[in-house]
Amino acid sequence: MTLRELAGRVSARLAPESEDAEISSVASLADANPGDISFFGNQKYLGALRKTRATAVLLPESFTEQIPAHGLYVEDPSAAFAQILPLFTPQPITHAPGIHPSAVISPESVIGEGCSIGPLVVIEKGAQIGSHATIEAKCFIGQEVKLGNHCHLHPNVTIRERCRIGNRVVLHSGVVIGADGFGYELRDGCQQKIPQTGSVQIDDDVEVGANSTVDRARFGRTWIQRGTKIDNLVQIGHNVTIGEHCILCAQVGISGSTRIGNYVTLAGKVGLSGHIEIGDQVMIGAMSGLAKNVPSNTIMFGAPAQPIREYKENYALLKNIRKLYNRVKALEAKNPE
């Protein structure tokens, strides 16, 4: 496609002399070759932009620097790139409606219209599957599970008994919903298991990444609310509540009975202790550990986590501690008493 055609699709501003340049593929700034288009949306990649071999780059409207590629100027380069990407990549894989002969489905379950159920899927007694669900190979759906419309379960997903899954939920490979919460009490010198009799509720438009786990509640429910997106390798403990439109990055761990508000971001490897409350629009930086309540609209960082301003001030002092230590030792040497 020519840059003129691409610019029209994303309402980009383009210099007239660039209109006839041809694009055949997409690539990152660092990996691009002639014929590729890329995008620039983060100042961290300015060095890569200056050296890119791409024929064209989607740029913010405010960008003024001269670069070696043709520039397409748009309000949001990342969003524009997402529009262009399907033009140069294979079509998404689709799954035709139907039930594979090897699937084991209880006659006492209910399967909605237009579902695609793959090989070796198991659906147990009392399960209800909404319309147009895609359930890929080797998924397990336990007794009395309710799965909404237009859900997509990738291979090897497990949903245990009595869990509730909303509409348009995506569960990636290896996800386990409704395993027992981790609850034990020391009695007579032995760890005795506390029964985990509750369930998990996942609301509409939630996505859960590969090999993540959401434990069932001791009683009541573990609850993930509408629009929240969860990365790979995340552990969510029993009776946790996560609000709407949150982002949980890889290797986050949340202990039992913690409550998280709406629009919260937990960066990679954040750990939350149990029985705490996180307000709305809180951001917690990567590898932070949190053991206390956090009010809304707060940025936290560190282990133990603290407000970002305090962390920066304390870190600046910590960097000078060796210098201060040496000065104290020198003063002590001059004045032993």
Positions marked catalytic: 238
Picking from 88, 84, 91, the residue whose alpha carbon sits closest to that of residue 8 is: 84
Going by C-alpha positions, the residue among 332, 227, 244, 319 that lies closest to residue 280 is: 244
- Residues near 40 by beta carbon (within 8 Å), at least 6 away in sequence: 29, 46, 49, 57, 58, 59, 60, 63, 77
Alpha-carbon gap, residue 148 to 98, rounded angstroms: 17
DSSP annotation of 148 reads: -
Angle subtended at Cα 262 by Cα 261 and Cα 264, rounded to the nearest 5 degrees: 85
Rounded Cα distance between 109 and 142, Å, is 10
**Residue type present at position 51:** K
Q: ω before 304 within 30° of 0 (cis)?
A: yes
Q: H helices within 213-320, ranges in order? A: 308-319
- With 0-12 / 13-18 / 19 or more C-beta atoms within 10 angstroms meaning exposed / middle / buried, residue 327 is exposed
Contacts of 70 (CB under 8 A, 6+ apart): 3, 14, 15, 18, 21, 55, 56, 57
Q: How many CB atoms lie within 10 A of CB 27?
A: 16
End-to-end CA distance of the chain: 82
Angle at 21 (CA atoms; ends 19, 25), nearest 5 degrees = 125
Residue with tokens 């230590």: 325
CA dist 121 and 130 (Å) reads 16
